[in-house]
Structure 1
């Protein structure tokens, strides 16, 4: 059996790095020929001289290296991957980049959780839930962690395994260690590990004056560097605070700060030399402590606050507990233990007996057993995704966020998270999309609420149209327009919505307004220069002709507009570039979709051929990974460059959904239906970062995938793109050959 271990790794100064190294060394089949290897995570700006077992290095903040790591693992005939998870060691928002790696693997995954939060943020919850879904086994080190995984993250109990933190088989003679460290005449209290405000060292220091008054030979050793993340953001502020506190209390001869990252040999030497080991942490929400495991594992007398791991590990007389930040209780406890050596010895004995059960050889053997079980019960075949959409995973159709963004004037264009941003006002583009979406929704639901909202959005378009048939776009919150004439793109989107409304107005009163607005705009169709505006207008004409199929003037107008797209295509087409311009930018799917619409209403084979050829070209650049990977809006994709991977927008995913819907209706090929499903799943997490863009709390849609995670703002364009795509998808379940969407 061949295992790939993913995590930080020694010599990086990191507790998880030490854990991964011990796990690698203790997990094997005894043959020495297993070929196990490590994929190590480098923190930003650092390089390390790794040992030979490290075969691949991931740069924490470089998303591309996660994909390369997955390829490396897949190509090296690995049977199981074991990943160490802690939010801070992976790149992106809350370590989201690890999801890309996990989803790209072709082998079963086991995840060890070093942190399990009871009250995660939205992003932390999303990352954790996806890891728990992908991994076949989840390893925790405390019963409380298993409980939280079940209650907060919805993980089935049978997927969770409790495996204690391993302890190295390093032992020192107490007398020799005290003599070597110059502590033979002292009563030694010890705390070790990275320093940070959550460690509560000040509680222990404040408890010392009365202890020292009773036992003048007491010395408190604080062994450890300040945590690198703390240094990065706050410098040595906490350490300096502790030094000032020591001086204020007159404890300079009784507190020793050793500002170093100690080797494991040194750690165990100090543990052997200490009388009492202290972990005065300030918060119960710590599910794993490697330092505490080490102390118990070697039989130290431990005094701790009752954080989750300590409450379990020190049960049954293996240690003593005191309340968080309760220096008085700690003082009394320390005085009592130092006065009664028999109590200290009892704590050591019970801890030592338990420590024999959590040595690394035993922990490693348990991991090895679990990897064999995972291999036996997770056939590789099930790792491949079924291309058919599982309807049960779809959230219900909800308009909560649309209602939140809409007032009597129209829909606000932007939001801060899930709250409307009134400062940005309204725009024609979004009210046109909202009209389109609500018309689609009414066709599906016959909802009175939808009928009322249609009137609001149509009213905005009616108010926005100038006497000459053009439109204004942006309106402030004070209901004053901020421009005289909209962009061509906004004009085209308005025509698209009006054309659809011509075909599917729910009542005559709406229909009459739509007819007038559409007719007023027609004189501007042939003046359009933007190919996307032409495409949007073509789609509007397509739906207009569903209501007026014998209008030859409009058929001819559609042919003329399509001919201009056709000519743009021929101008830019080469043997390797099948597109309408020299770059792939935004709303890409709408261009071949518009050509399909034109091919249908004009029965023009050339338009059809261009549509399907450009569709195939776009598909080759967006679906080659097995999921939808959109062209990002940071720099787009220049013909002579490389695709921009991020700032992926929901409106572009919508364009792909609608393109495949149109292709399916035109050709009847079920492959297009499958690709429609794949494109829609971009919203629900089948994307490059493997996290849902749809917000299940607000029922809105986030504004896109950024280089480090999700843009949590939920503007109108994004949520409308999701809902239009959702309604298109739902229609395929019932009437696959009747086109209801653009």
Structure 2
């Protein structure tokens, strides 16, 4: 049996690295036939031991994908993920999702942090991890409640295994002698030093204690947390030193500024009389230091954070209130005054600790691994959009939030309109298209007002010569004389769609006026995407006026412009219209296939399908859509960029698969159309949804750091163009099946 651990690892000075090392040794002690390897998260070069077989540069997203390939190729029977948000790259550690979702074997997850009030990314990431996991291991009963209430994890998937501890011999006198602290009353705190540890509370409690018990020594064992060192250096430690001087405790408080070995730590814990975790807030679900102290049979005092309330229940320790040094002082004096009470605490802690040694917990993990190996638990099945009842509801909330009497605002800061960026023709054309599609699909009366608003913007943006302005500021001043060709093409696409769907004749007449005023410029277009959009608009028009020979001939001329570009760039391996795959790629073969319904040309059909197959093989891999990011366009024989992926490309891909399905009637393309839409819902490289069920908007893209949480007009409109397309196709297909 082969196990792969995804974790930080020794010699990195990190609690999770130590945990993983201890777990591996405990498993090896239980069953030496199990092969155990580590996929190590590295923020710098380390001299790793032999069990580390692959290293992930924490901040290199591609490393996570390569690690998944390595694990799959080496056929591990189970993978163990040690999860803590901060050890993985991307926003809130999002990169780990691209690894675990490509694994072909059961996944066991040890959760070291579970947040009661996670941010959007933290919650989404943990939910996704829980979906993929076969088993989730937590270390306190309170963690089970959090997983169920906040992250909706089913109880059948959760296992409670306490944090493991070393085996202690409990020879306190010998340990004190080894530390040269014989006959001292030792109070101990250990772990990384940071302000949230609340060590000043103990220092403030000590003056009265040492006055009555001058043999008292408080040991603070541990280095300053690496993240704290980067941000503020030794500022906190220096503050503590000044506080010690102020209280006259120089002879009673000792720092051990080191990341001590397990062996040395065992000595400190065995020697101490009282162990204190004075953390200043309750939101800590697991504390390895607390577990170690109980395991060592120390009398443990703690503030009431989550793990402490759980672990110190039933008289295994004493809780005192956050930052309450007076209460702590009274407890310390009372315990020193009453040696029997102190000894009772130590005995209860010891009895509990004996049940949580690594040797005993190793048996629990070994049993889990073997159960997964013999009968692997399937991860949650993702909700697939294959029935109308599983489809999200269409809502105007966010689009209406972005829209005023002039038109739709193009950008948002998170979900709030950003007036500084004003309006653009592109988005008002898309908004017109969504409004027409929505009215056609659902017949909502209020949508007619929206159609009027967006059509009015396009009319206002058109110049006397038939071209268009694009950008307009919030003061309703156009910012350039002539807009881009792409914005021109998108306007023509929306206007073409209006010919078949206008709810009022007045809308039809105004749309026709704008469309034909722009027609003289069709032949002058040079941008292949502008040409493609214009061809789509013409094709929509010809559905309503199929005998318009003049417009049909214009369509032919535009189509063969694309043929010319294809023949200039394509070769035996590169079947595309440019030497790069850039943005909105699927729109080009889509336009050719749409236009060929009216042109019926074998060459167009061949190029349309050849370029479609070429693009499909690049963007549809591993069962989900992975479009080309705009960080670096994909050139011939070069790797494409995974980020930032934009909703505009997804919408074009949905429309392309819809078109190919309608032509071929091959259900494979219907399924790929659905899978492409699910990019918005989390079936993407980061495995996170971009559609926001709260705001009813769509986030702007997948970036290297995670989700771009701004919800601009383009992204939300692209989501709803895709949405309505899928809804209509599902409706039609279901009617046919019935």
Whether TM exceeds 0.5 here: the answer is yes
Q: After superposition, give the CA deviation of every residue in 1:299-357 in whole Å (9 maximum; x if it has no partner).
A: 11111001110111111111111001111100111111111111110001000001111
* Contact 1:665–1:736 under 8 Å retained in 2: no
Question: Once structures 1 and 2 are overlaid, which stretch shifts more, 33-42 or 612-621?
Answer: 33-42
- Aligned positions of 1:440-451 closer than 5 A: 440-451=437-448
Aligned to 1:180: 178
Please state if 1:484 is matched with 2:481.
yes
- Between Structure 1 and Structure 2, how many residues are aligned? 735
1:692 and 1:533 map into 2 onto residues whose CA distance is: 30
Aligned to 1:299: 297
Aligned to 1:643: 640
- Aligned positions of 1:309-388 closer than 5 A: 309-378=307-376
- Aligned positions of 1:713-728 closer than 5 A: 713-728=710-725
Q: After superposition, give the CA deviation of every residue in 1:535-568 in whole Å (9 maximum; x if it has no partner).
A: 0000000001111111011111100000100110
Q: Secondary structure at the match of 2:420?
A: helix
* Contact 1:106–1:383 under 8 Å retained in 2: no
Aligned to 2:5: 5
Q: After superposition, give the CA deviation of every residue in 1:91-110 in whole Å (9 maximum; x if it has no partner).
A: 11101111111100000111
Aligned to 2:529: 532
* Contact 1:502–1:544 under 8 Å retained in 2: yes
1:324 and 1:531 map into 2 onto residues whose CA distance is: 65
Q: Secondary structure at the match of 2:101?
A: helix
- Aligned positions of 1:267-278 closer than 5 A: 267-278=265-276
1:451 and 1:386 map into 2 onto residues whose CA distance is: 33
2:446 and 2:382 map into 1 onto residues whose CA distance is: 38
* Contact 2:699–2:715 under 8 Å retained in 1: yes
Q: After superposition, give the CA deviation of every residue in 1:169-224 in whole Å (9 maximum; x if it has no partner).
A: 24362112111212113211100000111100011111111112212221111000
Q: After superposition, give the CA deviation of every residue in 1:495-544 in whole Å (9 maximum; x if it has no partner).
A: 00000011211111111110101010100000111111000000000001
Please state if 1:685 is matched with 2:682.
yes
Runs of 4+ in 1 over 6 A off after TM superposition: 382-388
Q: Secondary structure at the match of 1:705?
A: strand
Structure 1 residue 641, shift from structure 2 partner: 3.1
Structure 1 residue 9, shift from structure 2 partner: 1.4
Aligned to 1:40: 40
What TM-score do you get using the length of structure 1 for normalisation? 0.97
2:355 and 2:547 map into 1 onto residues whose CA distance is: 84
Aligned to 1:265: 263
Aligned to 2:51: 53
Q: After superposition, give the CA deviation of every residue in 1:625-684 in whole Å (9 maximum; x if it has no partner).
A: 321111110121122532122111011111100111111112222111111112111111
* Contact 1:632–1:644 under 8 Å retained in 2: yes
Aligned to 2:103: 105
* Contact 1:279–1:303 under 8 Å retained in 2: yes
Q: Secondary structure at the match of 1:138?
A: strand
1:315 and 1:336 map into 2 onto residues whose CA distance is: 19
* Contact 2:386–2:730 under 8 Å retained in 1: no
Q: In the alignment, which of 662, 667, 671 is matched to residue 664 of structure 2?
A: 667
1:389 and 1:106 map into 2 onto residues whose CA distance is: 24
Structure 1 residue 737, shift from structure 2 partner: 11
Please state if 1:87 is matched with 2:101.
no
Structure 1 residue 31, shift from structure 2 partner: 4.9
Please state if 1:20 is matched with 2:17.
no
- Aligned positions of 1:70-219 closer than 5 A: 70-171=68-169, 173-219=171-217
Q: Secondary structure at the match of 1:733?
A: helix
Q: Which consecutive residues of structure 2, in runs of 5 or more, have no partner in the other structure?
A: none
* Contact 2:566–2:578 under 8 Å retained in 1: yes
Residues 379/579 of structure 1: CA separation in 2 closer, same or farther (3 Å cut): same
Aligned to 1:459: 456
Q: CA RMSD in A?
A: 1.7
2:393 and 2:524 map into 1 onto residues whose CA distance is: 42
Question: Once structures 1 and 2 are overlaid, which stretch shifts more, 589-598 or 358-367?
Answer: 358-367
2:445 and 2:338 map into 1 onto residues whose CA distance is: 78
* Contact 1:499–1:543 under 8 Å retained in 2: yes
Aligned to 1:435: 432
Q: After superposition, give the CA deviation of every residue in 1:437-464 in whole Å (9 maximum; x if it has no partner).
A: 1110111111122111111101100111
Structure 1 residue 576, shift from structure 2 partner: 0.7
- Aligned positions of 1:492-641 closer than 5 A: 492-641=489-638
2:251 and 2:40 map into 1 onto residues whose CA distance is: 42
Residues 318/154 of structure 1: CA separation in 2 closer, same or farther (3 Å cut): same
2:438 and 2:79 map into 1 onto residues whose CA distance is: 45
2:407 and 2:255 map into 1 onto residues whose CA distance is: 63
Question: Once structures 1 and 2 are overlaid, which stretch shifts more, 167-176 or 457-466?
Answer: 167-176
* Contact 1:177–1:273 under 8 Å retained in 2: yes
Structure 1 residue 29, shift from structure 2 partner: 8.9
Structure 1 residue 389, shift from structure 2 partner: 3.9
* Contact 1:170–1:265 under 8 Å retained in 2: no
* Contact 1:107–1:383 under 8 Å retained in 2: no
- Aligned positions of 1:693-712 closer than 5 A: 693-712=690-709
Question: Once structures 1 and 2 are overlaid, which stretch shifts more, 106-115 or 25-34?
Answer: 25-34
Structure 1 residue 82, shift from structure 2 partner: 1.2
* Contact 1:130–1:691 under 8 Å retained in 2: yes
